[in-house]
Structure 1
């Protein structure tokens, strides 16, 4: 049968999450993780369903994409079909033509596994390798993680306003609210997630992070992590990062992973100080018009 692409609808989101969870393993680019859908879920189940695309063949899910904003498609495939030519050609066809509804016209980018055949098929037709690299980072969790010298709390619904306030004060232009936290927490991926708060010696919440497991023995991710803009420069970023790794270890994750723009030198340094190792840079595929 031919490969088809679909919007899953709210009822089909759990199927996409399950596929992404199943595909996570050590040594395989995590490009799109169940936690990425979990963090996007803050906008609601309907908005998340509208942003997800699923490619199938004979009923089996081969690839899942997330329209992360108006101009970026974050895409991954089942590990065993990364080099499948039929899938690569279908993915390329779907993203080249705006009328297919996967990406709009104009400048757009695709984040896809570096070992996927799509990386070789798509360049041309106006597509090229983006100039701005990203740095993936990873921390192995097979060894015990030493708790940081910072009071850490795993929060529940009652602390959602505090967590939202710290996240909002960590990112310029953030519109995150306690209501969005509750919406995010209602999503299927949150069953494997924890939200942490870090407190200084005065009892003020100064750092926050969400961690997302994909199940025991699989890599987990941090998304997002932030330090309140009024409390930077005291090592809180390192401390909350270590706490995040410890939380993922408690959830059974085999490693902790994240990605950040390589230009954000301070962020890369913070994660490295928290025991994360820098991996080879990756770049998006971009179409300028």
Structure 2
């Protein structure tokens, strides 16, 4: 039977997440994680389902892609199918044909970590390697050292505090009332969605009880790597080691959830983030690069 491309329904989101969990293992590539679906679900369950693409044969899911925007496809391929040439050629053909409903025509990016045959096929079709990213991992076989700050797990009743720090960390612009309502609404949609049972949202406080940093962690189940996504420090409180502290707290939370290790990937050019994860005991792996197609592709 041929390889079929489909978009799941909302009811198929949880099964898709379970598939992605099974594909996570220590020593494997830091590819699309169930936590990536969880963080994307800020947009709601319907939008998350609409952004997924699944390649299957005879009822078995072989690969899952998340359209993190119309020009970025983030992939994971089943470990025992990762080296399959037929699958690599089929995904590449679907990616390059706008009528298939994966990527739009023109400039685009594919994240396909660990899927070497797919990478090679895309390169042969004229795609190029993009800027490097650095995967980081920390084993959780031993207890994580105390981070030195008060850490709280944040629930829906305190979503506004969490999103305020996150906005400052990643936006830095004025947080208007409209922005606040939108972001809190999205956070609540995520927390009420099909993925958040595997997550914890954390907030760190300094000695003056100022909220200084936030993070969310996502488990893939006991004995499997968990994901840290996102982590940010309030713009007014940078330079005090709070990024390292919240990262340690995130690793400790994942260990409490049964994760075997903690993982995160950052742009290699982001020297501050690279230094933060290293200082929190995360070990870098070899750089990886996405694949980029020019605007005339």
- What TM-score, normalized to structure 1? 0.97
Report the secondary structure of 2:289's partner residue: strand
The runs of at least 4 aligned residues of structure 1 exceeding 4 Å deviation read 173-176
Choose 45-54 or 119-128, whichever is displaced more: 119-128
- Looking at structure 1, the residues matched to 231 and 252 of structure 2 have their Cα atoms a distance apart, in angstroms, of 14
Equivalence for 2:275: 269
Choose 242-251 or 82-91, whichever is displaced more: 82-91
- Looking at structure 1, the residues matched to 128 and 168 of structure 2 have their Cα atoms a distance apart, in angstroms, of 36
Equivalence for 2:176: none
- Superposition pairs of residues 238-249 of structure 1, within 5 angstroms: 238-249=244-255
8 Å CA contact 2:199, 2:219 repeated in 1:
yes
How big is the shift at 1:184? Answer: 0.6
**Aligned match for 1:186, one of 192, 207, 211:** 192
Equivalence for 1:177: 183
How big is the shift at 1:125? Answer: 2.6
Choose 164-173 or 226-235, whichever is displaced more: 164-173
Is 1:161 the equivalent of 2:160? yes
Equivalence for 2:74: 74
Equivalence for 1:200: 206
Give me the CA root mean square deviation: 1.2
How big is the shift at 1:115? Answer: 4.1
- Looking at structure 2, the residues matched to 15 and 41 of structure 1 have their Cα atoms a distance apart, in angstroms, of 15
Q: Deviations over 1:127-179 (max 9, x none)?
A: 1212x100111111011111210000011111111001111111027867221
**Aligned match for 1:224, one of 230, 233, 236:** 230
- Looking at structure 2, the residues matched to 198 and 134 of structure 1 have their Cα atoms a distance apart, in angstroms, of 27
Choose 8-17 or 192-201, whichever is displaced more: 8-17
5+ residue gaps, structure 2, are: 174-178
Q: Deviations over 1:95-116 (max 9, x none)?
A: 1111211000111010002343
- Looking at structure 2, the residues matched to 216 and 116 of structure 1 have their Cα atoms a distance apart, in angstroms, of 28
Equivalence for 1:16: 16
How big is the shift at 1:22? Answer: 1.1
Report the secondary structure of 2:83's partner residue: coil
1:191–1:232 CA distance, 2 compared to 1 (3 A): same
How big is the shift at 1:117? Answer: 1.2
Report the secondary structure of 2:124's partner residue: coil
- Looking at structure 2, the residues matched to 164 and 22 of structure 1 have their Cα atoms a distance apart, in angstroms, of 30
How big is the shift at 1:90? Answer: 0.7
8 Å CA contact 2:45, 2:194 repeated in 1:
no
- Looking at structure 2, the residues matched to 154 and 116 of structure 1 have their Cα atoms a distance apart, in angstroms, of 39
Equivalence for 1:252: 258
5+ residue gaps, structure 1, are: none
Equivalence for 1:288: 294
- What TM-score, normalized to structure 2? 0.94
Report the secondary structure of 1:65's partner residue: strand
Instruction: State the aligned residue count.
Output: 288
How big is the shift at 1:126? Answer: 2.6
Q: Deviations over 1:208-254 (max 9, x none)?
A: 00000000000001000000000000000000000000000000000
- Superposition pairs of residues 117-132 of structure 1, within 5 angstroms: 117-130=117-130, 132=131
